[in-house]
Amino acid sequence: MRTQSAQNRDARAVTASRPFTVIGHRGARGHAPENTLLSIDTAIRLGADWVEIDVQHHDGELWLMHDLTLDRTTNGRGLLTAHPAAALRRLDAGDGEGIPTLAEALDLIEQRVGVNVELKSWNGCANAVAACLREYIADGWPAERFLVSSFHLPELWEFKQLLPEVPLGALYCGVPLDWAGLAAELGAQTLNISDEFVDARLIADAHARGLALYVYTVNDETRLRTLWQMGVDGVFTDYPDRALAAVGSEVRE
């Protein structure tokens, strides 16, 4: 009969062999203004595997902006959609950075990392993002280097009809009654869930359905290690450097 210590060593070896994806949240918002080119470049320099950016469609452009309003992250006021493109171009999004477009972000990234595009608006956002990503795929970007996600699942479903080769991430802020069932029904490749709702049964169900499970937004190193040990596949973090330090080089892809 094998001893408990031998079983524990084997369990640690299996955990250490699993890939663990570090996703820079809004770039690296712990180090630079969120959703700016500076934040994205910082995340890449810190070693993130992927960057996550928020996108809204307005006035013919796809703007990198999380909030529907400008007040928190720029020197502007009111709804983003209340301002024409020319006015948005003049705003300061922090440290002298402007509000970039999705195309500007992708041109900066140049396939150095994967890109999670979160749809933050609806009624046309899916169509505009699909048209943009289609051009980059035609120029040589692998479709699997993109992940399109949203809490607005009907908008995510619309995107799937437009560009089915790009993987989807279903965003949840709770644990559904059918566990990961809805994400699987949607045809998503990842289930992205808030840290406060991580559940061992949800992790197991996601994996049984062939889904990766990513957790947002995790900045504490002890919590990062705990989630890795629980079996999650990756985290969104404001500090990619902390996540890399927490899980160690032995789990890097």
pLDDT, position 96: 98
The candidate with the shortest Cα–Cα distance to 121, out of 108, 102, 143, 95, is 102
- Alpha helices by DSSP H, listed for 114-239, are 125-138, 153-162, 181-186, 200-208, 221-230
Q: What is the CATH number of domain 20-251?
A: 3.20.20.190
Task: Write down how long the chain is.
Answer: 253
pLDDT at 249: 52
**Residue 28 DSSP label:** T
Sorted by sequence, the CB contacts under 8 Å of residue 33 that are 6+ apart come out as: 39, 73, 93, 94, 95, 97
Span 24-44, average pLDDT: 98
Question: 3-state class of 50 per DSSP?
Answer: strand
This prediction's pTM: 0.92
| pLDDT recorded at residue 123 | 87
Contact 115, 146 (CB under 8 A): yes
| pLDDT score at 46 | 98
In this prediction, residue 248 carries a pLDDT of 80
pLDDT tens column, 155-176: 999 999 999 999 999 999 999 9
- Tokens representing 223? 């919590």
Of 15-24, 106-115, 193-202, 235-244, the one with minimum mean pLDDT is 15-24
What is the pLDDT, as a whole number, of residue 87?
98
Instruction: Give the H or E element holding residue 235.
Output: strand 234-237
Calculate helix-pair angle for 221-230, 240-247, nearest 10 degrees: 60
pLDDT given at position 7: 37
Distance set, CA 248 to CA 18, 28, 49, 225, 252 (Å): 12, 19, 14, 9, 8
Residue 173's CB: how many other CB atoms inside 10 A? 11
Tell me the average pLDDT across 186-207. Answer: 97
pLDDT single digits (tens) 116-162? 999 999 989 999 999 999 999 999 999 999 999 999 999 999 999 99
Longest dimension (CA), the chain: 72
Count how many Cα atoms sit within 13 Å of the Cα of residue 179 in the half-sphere of its side chain: 13
Check pLDDT > 50 for residue 188: yes
What pLDDT is recorded for position 94?
A: 98
* Residue 198 pLDDT exceeds 90: yes
Per the prediction, the chain carries an average pLDDT of: 93
